[in-house]
Amino acid sequence: MNGEKIIRIVAAVIRDVQGRVLMVRKRGAEVWQQPGGKRDADDRNDLHTLARELHEELGCTMHEEGARWIGRFSAPAANEPGHVVEAEVYEVKADGPFVAQAEIEGVCWVDPAALGDMPIARLSRESILPAVAATHVATHPQD
């Protein structure tokens, strides 16, 4: 082992009808990343963590039904040098509006297949968004 500390989080992929993915930027951070965060001792499971974090960060209501586990990914942590982030990632549906609050300063939607040179955390740029870009987008709005 190389002595790096692991930060375990649960992260969300929320897509709009065009397949764009919601990203957030924390106060003081330069890069965009997925909404989500660390588990609390009181959380029942990953989806409970995610629903709590999404409500805190964006004021939205997540639906546990229909959540789809995308995978477990890791990368150097965006905001904590010397740490590795390990994320359980779920695609979920949530009712907006999505409004930046708490420690979140910005919200945007990105096309996972056309990121350009936007500053995006490595976990998202190298793992999560490529995995999402490879998946089919639902064509029925109510899917």
Ligand X SMILES: Nc1nc2c([nH]c(=O)n2[C@H]2C[C@H](O)[C@@H](COP(=O)(O)OP(=O)(O)OP(=O)(O)O)O2)c(=O)[nH]1
- Write out the residues near ligand X by the rule CB under 6 A: 7, 9, 11, 33-34, 36-38, 77-80, 85, 103, 121, 123-124
Nearer to ligand X, 56 or 135 (CB): 56
Are the beta carbons of 23 and 107 closer than 8 angstroms? yes
Nearer to ligand X, 6 or 139 (CB): 6
Nearer to ligand X, 126 or 140 (CB): 126
Cβ 114 to ligand X, closest distance in Å?
19
Cβ 59 to ligand X, closest distance in Å?
15
Nearer to ligand X, 70 or 142 (CB): 70
Q: How many CA atoms lie within 13 A of 55 on its CB side?
A: 10
Cβ 83 to ligand X, closest distance in Å?
6
Q: Are strands 83-95 and 61-76 parallel, antiparallel or unpaired?
A: antiparallel
Residue number closest to ligand X, CB atom = 37
Residues 6+ apart with CB under 8 A from 143: none
Nearer to ligand X, 115 or 124 (CB): 124
Residues 6+ apart with CB under 8 A from 19: 111, 112, 137
Cβ 95 to ligand X, closest distance in Å?
20
Distance CA 143, CA 122 (A): 30
Cβ 143 to ligand X, closest distance in Å?
25
